[in-house]
Amino acid sequence: MIPIVDLICKSLTGGEYKGKMVAKVKTLGIVFADEQRSGYCSGELVSGQVLVELSEDMRVTALRLVARGCARVNWSEGPGTATTPSSAAMATSSPSSSLSSSSSSSRSFREEVEYVHSAQTLIEAPGENSEESFIALHAGKHEFPFSFQLPQGPLVTSFSGKYGCIQYWVNATLERPSAPDQSVRREFPVISHMDVNTPTLLSPVSTNKEKMVGCWFFTSGPIALSARIERKGYCNGEAIPIYAEIENCSSRLIVPKAAIYQTVTCLANGRTKTCKQMVANVRGNHIGSGSMDTWNGKKLKIPPVTASILNCSIITVEYSLAVYAHIPGAKKLKLELPLVIGTIPYNGFGSRTASVSSQFSMDMSWLSLALPEQPEAPPNYADVVSEEEFERHAPSYSQPDDLERELGRPIFAYIQEFRFQPPPLYSEIDPHPTLTEEEQSRVAFVI
């Protein structure tokens, strides 16, 4: 009847309590009415049963259920920990916390915000304070149904990260006379829906950049990059069409790529901790000298990642789309466009924006712009080894693409187990974020 019972019940052993032998509760478990549910929303009813299996008759004082939900962050910093203070952390640190991080002991940062807290009593003996008062449960299986309503107010989507998580769970506690309380806890998923059909998320995002690549005074031409997406908001499973132009006027061989990055920011005691990791990428073709590659809607599929979490006060989960080119012997040229991953997909009514993209390829004015950047010195070893700050601090020297090569399959195949993953590979903030966002205010529903 309840096939998954073994997974979610706690097998409890009897034993001695205060010098007396205490009878055994064979199992104590929680099953939800809808085990297939991918997420509960605010205001919804969560129901299920607490299962109690006894190998002999037993006296019980009460069976209580508590539903809780909260966001929690927790990390420590200091000489003993491997974490390098990020520039963001420096910027937001209070005098006291920067002091403690330079002292010899590590300091922990912790914060919690509660979203759900409700308690109910499933059974309770009358006159509960009396040792004589109890309910007799017979040997065998017992089921105690429960249900509770999630708050109408806004909830935040369940999430689990390296330094913080947003979790919702129920805890059932069985109380018995002259025996320790026994309890079991089970998590349930919550989704806070985010509709991508809003003017801000339907608006296109674009940016461009160029870089001079040279050797002393033998400066070759610029490498220019320009990228655009039709909307800021997409959902899991959707493929983002990327419009980009990459021009190689340099003497270097460049390969354009695009990637989706996830940035998780945790906040506690005035300090922030940021993790940035690549969750999907795609590679373009080599571009020959003086030539140009045009991406006219090159697709990059969004892997099954947590939707953007933007309104929790202590944890945010943000995404960006990076279009970049590795340039041998120089820092990579990289553009980053803000991206929001929602849960309610595009309904097509904003399709007018699609026509805007055709104007894009005509807007090539950036190609003739003067070059603000200094030509670079010849590549030195350090430049070649490490191209970007956050990669320099990466625990592994694998570049994402190398990682793909090593694993023999695309990284996003691993994102499936995202919530159960070990800490991300890239755990430092990019100290030079290139968020030159240039949001166009042209919006969709002009008919």
Ligand X SMILES: *[C@@H]1O[C@H](CO)[C@@H](O)[C@H](O)[C@H]1NC(C)=O
In the complex, minimum distance from the CB of residue 138 to ligand X, in angstroms, rounded to a whole number:
25
Q: Which one of residues 87, 149, 219, 251 is an interface residue with ligand X (CB under 6 A)? A: 251
- What is the nearest approach in angstroms of ligand X to the Cβ of residue 2? 19
CA distance 330 to 12: 61
- Is position 289 an interface residue for ligand X (rule: CB under 6 A)? yes
* Candidate list 98, 311, 358, 361; residue touching ligand X; CB under 6 A: 311
Which is nearer to ligand X, 184 or 225 (by Cβ)? 184
Nearest to 229 by CA among 279, 307, 300: 300
Question: Which of 233-241, 252-260, 377-385, 424-432 is the region at the interface with ligand X (rule: CB under 6 A)?
Answer: 252-260
Question: Counting contacts by CB under 6 A, is residue 287 touching ligand X?
Answer: yes
Query: Strands, DSSP E only, in 23-163?
Result: 25-32, 45-54, 58-60, 62-77, 107-124, 135-137, 140-149, 159-160
CA pair distance 288, 253, nearest whole angstrom: 7
Half-sphere exposure of 18 (CA within 13 A, CB side): 4
Q: Which stretch binds ligand X (CB under 6 A): 272-280, 286-294, 297-305, 406-414?
A: 286-294
Closest to ligand X by CB, 156 vs 335, is 156
183 in contact with ligand X (CB under 6 A):
yes
Which residues of 230-270 form beta strands (DSSP E)?
A: 233-235, 239-248, 255-268
63 is a contact residue toward ligand X (CB under 6 A): no
What is the closest distance, in whole angstroms, from the C-beta atom of residue 156 to ligand X in the complex? 5
Neighbours of 204 (CB within 10 A): 23
Interface with ligand X, residue 248, by CB under 6 A = yes
Nearest CB to ligand X, comparing residues 25 and 411 = 25
Task: Decide if 317 contacts 166 (C-beta within 8 A).
Answer: no
With respect to ligand X, which residue has the nearer C-beta, 101 or 411?
101
The DSSP annotation for 124-171 comes to E-SSTT-TT--EEE-SEEEEEEEEEEPPSS-----EE-SSEEEEEEEE
- The Cα 394–Cα 407 span in angstroms is 18
CA distance 320 to 336: 6
Instruction: Report residue 305 as tokens.
Output: 């990642």
- If binding is defined by CB under 6 A, does position 74 make contact with ligand X? yes
**192 interacts with ligand X by CB under 6 A:** yes
**Of 8 and 22, which has the nearer Cβ to ligand X?**
8
Residue 197 or 248 with smaller CB distance to ligand X: 248
d(CA 243, CA 227): 6
Cross-strand pairs, 30: 50
Helices (H) and strands (E) in the chain, counts: 8, 23
- Looking at 24-32, 55-63, 280-288, 392-400, which segment touches ligand X (CB under 6 A)? 280-288
Q: Which of 137, 156, 224, 415 is in the footprint of ligand X by CB under 6 A?
A: 156
Tokens matching residue 163: 């330094």
Closer CB to ligand X, 43 or 177, in the complex? 43
Q: Bridge partners of 259?
A: 281, 322
Asked whether position 182 contacts ligand X by CB under 6 A, the answer is no
Matching residue, tokens 């499973």: 237
Binder among 58, 194, 305, 429 for ligand X (CB under 6 A): 194
CB of 321 to ligand X, least distance (A): 20
Interacting span for ligand X (CB under 6 A) from 30-38, 177-185, 366-374, 401-409 = 177-185
Contact flag: residue 407 with ligand X (CB under 6 A): no
Is 314 an interacting residue with respect to ligand X (CB under 6 A)? no
Size of the site for ligand X (CB under 6 A): 23
Q: Per rule CB under 6 A, is residue 427 in the interface with ligand X?
A: no
Asked if residue 170 binds ligand X (CB under 6 A), the reply is no
Rounded to a whole number of angstroms, the minimum distance from the CB of residue 127 to ligand X is: 22
Q: How many CA atoms are closer than 13 Å to the CA of 155, on its beta-carbon side? A: 27
What angle is formed at CA 172 by the lines to CA 167 and CA 178, rounded to 5 degrees?
140
The distance of closest approach from Cβ of residue 310 to ligand X in the complex, given in angstroms and rounded to an integer, is 6
- Binding region for ligand X (CB under 6 A): 66, 74, 154, 156, 171, 173, 183-185, 192-194, 248, 250-254, 286-289, 311
